[in-house]
Amino acid sequence: MSPTTIFETHESEVRGYCRNFPTVFNSAKGAWMTDLDGNRYLDFLSGAGVLNYGHNPDRIKQALLGYLMRDGITHTLDMYSEAKRRFIEQFIEVILAPRGLDYKLQFPGPTGTNAVEAALKLARKVTGRQHVVSFTNGFHGMTLGALAVTGNGFKRAGAGVPLTHTTSLPFDGYLGQDVDTLDYFEAMLADGGSGLELPAAVILETVQAEGGVNVASSAWLRRLREITQRHDIVLIVDDIQVGCGRTGSFFSFEQAGIKPDIVTLSKSLSGYGLPMALVLIRPDLDQWAPGEHNGTFRGHCPAFVTATAALSFWQTDQFEQSVRAKGKLVEKRLTQMIDIPGLAAKNRGIGLIQGIEFADASLAGRVSAACFERGVIIETAGIDDQVLKLLPSLTIREDELTHGLDVIEESLRHVIGAQSKTKQKTQVAA
Ligand SMILES: *Cc1c(COP(=O)(O)O)cnc(C)c1O
| Ligand 1 centroid to residue 265 C-alpha, Å | 9
pLDDT over 90 percentage in the chain: 96
Residue 339 pLDDT greater than 50, yes or no: yes
C-alpha angle 312-104-72 in degrees, rounded to nearest 5: 50
Query: Model confidence over 110-142: pLDDT tens digits?
Result: 999 999 999 999 999 999 999 999 999 999 999
CA of 266, closest atom in ligand 1 = 7
DSSP 274-325: ----EEEE-GGG--PPTTSS--TTS-BHHHHHHHHHHGGGGSSSHHHHHHHH
- The domains located in the chain, with CATH, are 5-56+317-429 (3.90.1150.10), 72-314 (3.40.640.10)
Which amino acid appears at position 74 of this protein? T
- In contact, 210 and 381? CB cutoff 8 Å: yes
Q: Per-residue pLDDT averaged across 75-103, rounded?
A: 98
Residue to mutate, 51, 52, 140, ligand 1, most ligand atoms under 8 Å from C-beta: 140
CA of 110, closest atom in ligand 1 = 7
List, in sequence order, every residue forming a beta bridge with 237; answer none if it has no partner: 204, 263
Which burial class, exposed, middle or buried, applies to 427 when counting CB atoms under 10 A from its CB (0-12, 13-18, 19+)? exposed
The alpha carbon torsion through 123, 126, 128, 130 (nearest 10 deg) reads 10
Q: Per-residue pLDDT averaged across 390-418, rounded?
A: 96
1 band by pLDDT with thresholds 50, 70 and 90: confident
pLDDT of the residue at 242: 98
| Ligand 1 centroid to residue 342 C-alpha, Å | 36
pLDDT of the residue at 299: 84
Q: Per-residue pLDDT averaged across 240-264, rounded?
A: 98
Query: Model confidence over 272-308: pLDDT tens digits?
Result: 999 999 999 999 999 999 999 999 999 899 999 999 9
Contact 139 CB / ligand 1 (< 6 Å): yes
| Ligand 1 centroid to residue 334 C-alpha, Å | 26
Question: pTM for this structure?
Answer: 0.96
pLDDT of the residue at 413: 96
Contact 381 CB / ligand 1 (< 6 Å): no
CA of 113, closest atom in ligand 1 = 9
Q: Kindly give the pairing relationship between strand 278-281 and strand 262-265.
A: antiparallel
Q: If we measure between CA atoms, which residue out of 263, 244, 317 comes closest to residue 53?
A: 244
pLDDT over 70 percentage in the chain: 97
428 band by pLDDT with thresholds 50, 70 and 90: very low
Q: Mean pLDDT score of the chain, rounded to an integer?
A: 96
C-alpha angle 305-311-314 in degrees, rounded to nearest 5: 170
pLDDT of the residue at 189: 98
| Measured distance CA(299)–CA(92) in Å, rounded | 18
| Ligand 1 centroid to residue 116 C-alpha, Å | 8
Contact 266 CB / ligand 1 (< 6 Å): yes
pLDDT of the residue at 112: 98
Q: How many residues does the chain have?
A: 430
CB crowding 152-178: b at 16 or more within 10 Å, else e: beeeeeeeeeebebbbebbbbbeeeee
Query: Model confidence over 64-83: pLDDT tens digits?
Result: 999 999 999 999 999 999 99
Q: Kindly give the pairing relationship between strand 214-215 and strand 234-238.
A: unpaired
